[in-house]
Amino acid sequence: ELKVEQNPLFLSMQEGKNYTIYCNYSTTSDRLYWYRQDPGKSLESLFVLLSNGAVKQEGRLMASLDTKARLSTLHITAAVHDLSATYFCAVDAGSGTYKYIFGTGTRLKVLA
């Protein structure tokens, strides 16, 4: 059974600081996704990573994928308050299943 773990679960950081969220998964997969959820809201897609070594950047967020290590990172550069949200990674279980397993989420709070 595919398991997806994120750490940390909670992250409180000052504006202007850098930090990294980690997503580990338990089986072979080369498709990984990052989503953002604002409090009480639904999820929206941030990044789609479809191969080993893939790197995507949008504003202050950068995501990368290492399929050999079964690890993805979401790096936050010079955090601002607007980035406060919960971030989820999700992994495709593979073999053409299109079955997406989500991590536990990282709740990020950026303090002004």
Interface residue list for another protein (CB under 8 A): 1, 4, 6, 9, 31, 33, 35, 41-45, 48, 50, 88, 90, 92, 98-105
- The alpha carbon of residue 61 and the mean position of all alpha carbons in its chain are separated, in whole angstroms, by 10
Residues 6 or more apart in contact with residue 59 via CB below 8 angstroms: none
CA nearest 90: which of 60, 49, 57?
49
**Beta carbon nearer to another protein, 14 or 52:** 52
Minimum distance from CB of 82 to another protein (Å)?
20
2 or 80: whose CB is closer to another protein?
A: 2
Q: Which of 31, 32, 26, 24 is nearest to 5 (CA)?
A: 24
Quote the least distance from Cβ 43 to another protein, whole Å.
Answer: 5
Pick between residue 35 and residue 84 the one whose CB is nearest to another protein.
35
Of 39 and 112, the one with the shorter C-beta distance to another protein is 39
Q: Before 39, cis peptide (omega within 30)?
A: no
Minimum distance between the CB of residue 56 and another protein, rounded to whole angstroms? 12
Report how far residue 79's alpha carbon sits from residue 70's, in angstroms, rounded to the nearest whole number: 26
Shortest approach of another protein to residue 74 CB, angstroms? 15
* DSSP label of 77: -
